[in-house]
Every structure is written in C-alpha cells, then in structure tokens.
Chain A
Amino acid sequence: MTQVTLKPEDINLNDPEIFERNQAHQVFDYLRNNEPIHWNPEGERNVGYWNITKYEDVMFISRNPELFISSKGITSFYPKDESELDEQMSGNGKMLITMDPPRHVRLRRLVNKGFTPRAVNAMEDHIREITNQVLDDVAKKGRCDFVLDVASQLPLAVICGMMGLEKKDWPYMFELTNKVLGQGDPEYQTDAPEELRGTPEGARIAGQMGTMQMFGFFAQQLQDRKEHRKDDLISLLVDSEVDGQHLTDEDILWFCFLLILAGNETTRNAISGGLLALSEHPDQRQQLQNDMSMLPTAIEEILRWVSPVTHMARVATQDVEIRGTTIKEGQRVVMWYPSVNRDEDIFPNPHTFDITRQPNDHLAFGIGEHFCLGAGFARLELKVMFEELFRRFPDIEKDGEPERLRSTFIGGIKHMPVKFTPEA
C-alpha cells in the first residue's frame, strides 16, 4: 500500500481514488488521532463539509435527528448551485432515508413489521433455497466472478422477491442499481459518451439515467399493482395511509427506489468483503470453518471490518458544538462508518480482524432514527450464504485481485475471481 499525504489541509475525502485504492483507513486513522472533526474543502461543484470520524460523535449526531437533519441529502456531495438538484431528480425529503421526524417514523411504521426479527426469521428457509439455487449455477464450474455470480445474486433475489418483481426483471434491477450507486465508476457510465467516462459529468449522466429508468420501471409496476394487488411491498404501499391520506404515486416510487438500492448493493458488498476478509486472515477462516457456531460473531466482525456503507451525511439545524468545534447552522456533517468502526476508544485492537470479538457494537447499520431497516435481512442473508458456501465449497479461494468500486459512498467490490473444487 502506498502512503498517502497526511496533512489536514490536503485531506479531501471527495476523492474516490482513496477508496478505490483502499487507502481510506490511513486517512481515517490520522484524522481520528489528529483532527477528529475535520473540515473537508469544497470542490469545484460541491460544498465543503465536516468529516466526523469518532464513534461517540456519530452516535450523538445520529441520535439527534432534529439537530441534524437528513432532508438536505445523505451523501457528502451537495452542489453549490442548488438548481443542479432538480436536474438530478433529487429525492431529498421524499424517501425514508432522506426524511425527518415526525413524518419519518410514520412512514417507517407502514413497512417495519415486515422487517422485524420475527418476520425475517420466517424467511430463513426461503433464503436458504435461493442461496442454493445461486450456488447450483456455479457449482460445476469450479471458478466464477464471486461478485457477479454469487454475492450479488442473493440480496437481489430477496429484495426483488419482496417487491413482487418477476425474475426476468432482476438483471435490469442489478444494472440500474449499479448505475445509480456506482455512478462514479467508469464501468457503469455506459450512458455517457466515451470522452466523458471517468469524469464528474459522466457520473451525473449515469446517475440521472439510472434514476429515470428506475422510475419508468416502477411506474409500470405500480400501475400493475393498482389493477391487481399481489402479496408484496408495492401492493402494501398502494393500500397504506399516513395521517389518513394515501401515499402519492411519487411517494411510492421513491420508496421502491430506496428499497431496491438499499436492499441489493450493500449486502452484496458485505458478502464479497466478508469472503475477502476471511481469505486475508486464514487463521480466522480456519477457526470459523472448524466451528460454524462462531458465525454470528464472525458476521458482526465482517460488518465492522467491511462497513459496506461508507458514510451518511446530515445538516445542522442550529449551531452545535462537538469536541470544541462549532458546527454552524446549515453546515454538512459526514459520518464515516469505516472510521468509527475502528475507533480505538471503543474497539480494542481495532485493526485486528477477530471473529470472536465481543462486545461488537459497530455502527455499520447506523443507529437511531434511520437505523437500517433491512439489518435483519442483511444479517440472515450473510449467515445463510456463509453456511451454504463453506458447506458446499469449503476450499473456495481468491483467484486474482478484487476490483474495487470507485465511490466515496459504497465500499464496494465490483469483481472478484474465485476458484473452488467443482461439485461432481
């Protein structure tokens, strides 16, 4: 790993290369120990923001959703010229994840019964069946792209199933998710002219196209559910009311947009990142494969280690002092989960991957008002995947270097070749 420049005035976490080259932890270690609340300079098009790198500070911000709101966007990027937002079909204020109290909790209550531990556990057999179908497809080959062929397929099938989407549409959902959440990566900028790929303009085009296509697709689904209800989340939303009022079509479309993105990109990266972490720590992997009852703590450690969602942002509604730094009303704070999950004040030996770690109160799913709605599904998908994977392909290993996603928001792996003894 090459050393990165570590002068506070030079640190700029807008630079996706820091993440693509896997150097972010060097920067975060430095910030936590030298400037835990660090002003990130503005860019050509985007405003500056505070980098928040300590666990307690992320707890404080997340637990005070009136002081730190989500409706001004939840990523570090916010354009200086607000008219750019309309152009990009901004969902700020319109989805659970970008909505503030008191409406937030009312909307969340429409769906949260389908995501509680009990509801999730009832799906275990179904999730195991899907997992084995996914593994069947590669079992005889002995090698595959773990991300495309395995890790992405389970979460995609689960969320698409919950939304009542037909199997023929799943690959399209995968493609659109990559365009929206992977918009900064040239691989997904196929809608942009060649000369713009790899530029901020290329990212804008990919994100905008992906969003529009997603809306087009779900508008049709919505129409279909209005005519014929099914036993799925979209139908549930059609019949739901908040404060005696039905949700508007736009409300429902943004809900679908959020669920499909949140449901399939993140868990994919936890599965791939988990296999990668285990491969890089053979002693830990051996211990786990010898005794799979360690899986629950191993999964928490994978979540801490990988932190698949890199950040969430908020905006201060008044001046607030944290650690002697004044966050001014209207300023943005960006909470870096990979950093807080290795905060030495909370986790002893934070850079040690320890599948028995306990307690392990990592914040990979955030905390408080916006705590990940899908955490139960993500945990179960991880559990079933590693159980079946190691049962069927115990010697699966990396067969080349993983390719990381160029993004400051998602700690993603795009491709990871693996090999294993094929099933007869």
Chain B
Amino acid sequence: MRVFVDPDLCEGHSKCEKSAPAVFEVRDDDLSYVLLDPVPEEHREGVERAVRVCPRGAIAMTEDNE
C-alpha cells in the first residue's frame, strides 16, 4: 500500500506518529512525513488507525494495484 499526507491539511497533531511510528514522522515544520514507500503490509493496522484518528483527515491510502 502507499500512504500520503496532504501538507495543506496536516497541522502536526502527531496522532499518525502515535498510531504507526514506523510509517510517520512529524518534523520541526509541524508536518507529518511518510517514511516508507510502499508501506509494508505489517503496518496496515497502524496506518488504518492513523487515517481514522487524524483530526484533519489529512492521510490517504492507496493499494499497490491501483
């Protein structure tokens, strides 16, 4: 799967980082960066949770075959 953070929406609330620390990193500019591309299957649960709890709805996922 591939994961994207929309920098226009992200405001650095770090919920993503807490849900999937191996996938997201919130840097000094208060933006979240996706560390892995593609994101291995083992992180699916964490990413799905991040998508759900991100207060700004800033995270999107696509499947590899899309």
Which residues in A have some Cβ–Cβ distance to B below 8 Å? 63, 105, 109, 112-113, 115-119, 361, 365, 367-369, 371, 375-376
Q: How far is the CB of A422 from chain B (nearest CB, A)?
A: 40
Given contact pairs A367-B55, A368-B56, enumerate 6 new A-B contacts (beta carbons under 8 Å): A105-B9, A112-B11, A118-B12, A367-B57, A368-B55, A371-B56
Which residues in B have some Cβ–Cβ distance to A below 8 Å? 8-9, 11-14, 28, 30, 52-53, 55-57
Which residues of the partner chain A approach B30 to less than 8 Å between Cβ atoms?
Answer: 113, 116-119
Q: How far is the CB of B21 from chain A (nearest CB, A)?
A: 16
Which residues of the partner chain A approach B12 to less than 8 Å between Cβ atoms?
Answer: 116-118
User: Can you list 25 residue pairs at the A/B interface with Cβ under 8 Å?
Assistant: A105-B8, A105-B9, A109-B8, A112-B11, A113-B30, A115-B11, A116-B12, A117-B13, A117-B14, A117-B30, A118-B12, A118-B28, A118-B30, A119-B30, A361-B52, A361-B53, A365-B55, A368-B55, A368-B56, A369-B57, A371-B55, A371-B56, A375-B13, A375-B55, A376-B13
CA distance A373 to B30 in the complex (A): 14
CA distance A348 to B57 in the complex (A): 25
Contact partner, B11, options A63, A116, A361, A367, Cβ 8 Å:
A116
CA distance A369 to B54 in the complex (A): 11
Q: How far is the CB of B65 from chain A (nearest CB, A)?
A: 25
Which residues of the partner chain B approach A118 to less than 8 Å between Cβ atoms?
Answer: 12, 28, 30
Which residues of the partner chain B approach A113 to less than 8 Å between Cβ atoms?
Answer: 30
Q: How far is the CB of B11 from chain A (nearest CB, A)?
A: 5
Q: How far is the CB of A211 from chain B (nearest CB, A)?
A: 29
CA distance A365 to B13 in the complex (A): 13
Q: How far is the CB of B24 from chain A (nearest CB, A)?
A: 14
**Which of B8, B52, B57 has the most CB atoms of chain A within a 10 A radius of its CB?**
B57
